[in-house]
Homo-oligomer: A and B are copies of this chain.
């Protein structure tokens, strides 16, 4: 079965290729009778319709939006925050009738061919660490780009929240409740797979801008309240999973003196910290307060968290990229808010 193209059909009918093309894509340009015959022959020969790649080439549009995640896809789909963002973006893509091309970025691997070869009209970059090679590759494509959450790339629209402000809001909440012995569990600061305590220098050196900003907010609020940040135990994770959160929880809760409030930068991590507290028979919020982030998995667990407009961000990213006119390079900050649920309360009274 040789390849069937427009030309094959044209030859069969003794007409020109152009005519066959018109029969498919502009029926009014061709007599009904001939069109019928074209379709008949196409059917007979098993023609698969105008080749989309050739069509794309000629028309100069790919009909797809490229999507880049730092994490492997398997992991990205597991993160409720990412899923929320996806939903928003997908809705925008749907409205525009374009596909969403999800590009894999294998972990350590530096293969960026998928980005170089992606047949897309624009890129949406989500949470790439500072200086990730794929980002250069994307910018090299000279297509419209928006960046979500991180990193900020001058000259392209940026969508996200005011991370330091959001972090400070979370921290201030427990500080205002009276907590002074804080603990922090964070994921997504570095790319190196490190798990364990992180000192202030390492915290500051985080390669992921958004998380770095979030942490800066924690610290600023703590210092504002007179808490010495260097004394705050800070546990770093490499995977955003409930199990990882539990591990961090155990590490933090084993400290003496034990923290009375733990800040986490994802809800999933916070759930794990709650697991750890349960393991130790600690009452939440009586003996321990826990704050999550994103309001992605928090509701059922009664978790206090920071809500961010995931879906709105995704939808707006899609809209910017599909609008036709190139978007102005603005820094668009979306609202966030503190959602107080049942995982935070004033600290237990000190014993004397």
A342 on interface, CB distance cutoff 8 Å: no
Known pairs A117-B55, A119-B64; A86 contacts B73 (CB<8 A): yes
Query: How many copies of this chain does the complex contain?
Result: 2
Which chain B residue has the least Cβ–Cβ distance from A105? Answer: B94
Interface residue count on the A side (C-beta < 8 Å): 48
Query: Is A206's beta carbon under 8 Å from chain B?
Result: no
- Encoded as 1 (CB less than 8 Å from any B CB) or 0, chain A from 88 to 125 comes to 10110110011111111010000101101111000000
Contact of A78 among B55, B83, B116 (CB under 8 A): B83
In-complex Cβ contact of A119 among B48, B56, B74 (8 A)? B56
Distance between A288 CB and nearest chain B CB, rounded to angstroms:
20
* CB of A49 within 8 Å of the partner chain: yes
A63 at the interface (CB under 8 A from B): yes
The winner among A87, A94, A98 for most chain B CB atoms within 10 A is: A94
Quick check: is A22 within 8 A (CB to CB) of the other chain?
no
Q: Which residues of B contact A93 (CB under 8 A)?
A: 73, 102, 104
**Residues of B with C-beta under 8 A to A140:** 48-49
User: Nearest 6 pairs between A and B by C-beta?
Assistant: A73-B90, A94-B104, A74-B87, A48-B142, A100-B102, A119-B119
Interface residues of A (CB under 8 A from B): 46, 48-49, 51-57, 62-64, 66, 72-74, 77-78, 83, 86-88, 90-91, 93-94, 97-104, 106, 111, 113-114, 116-119, 140-143, 311
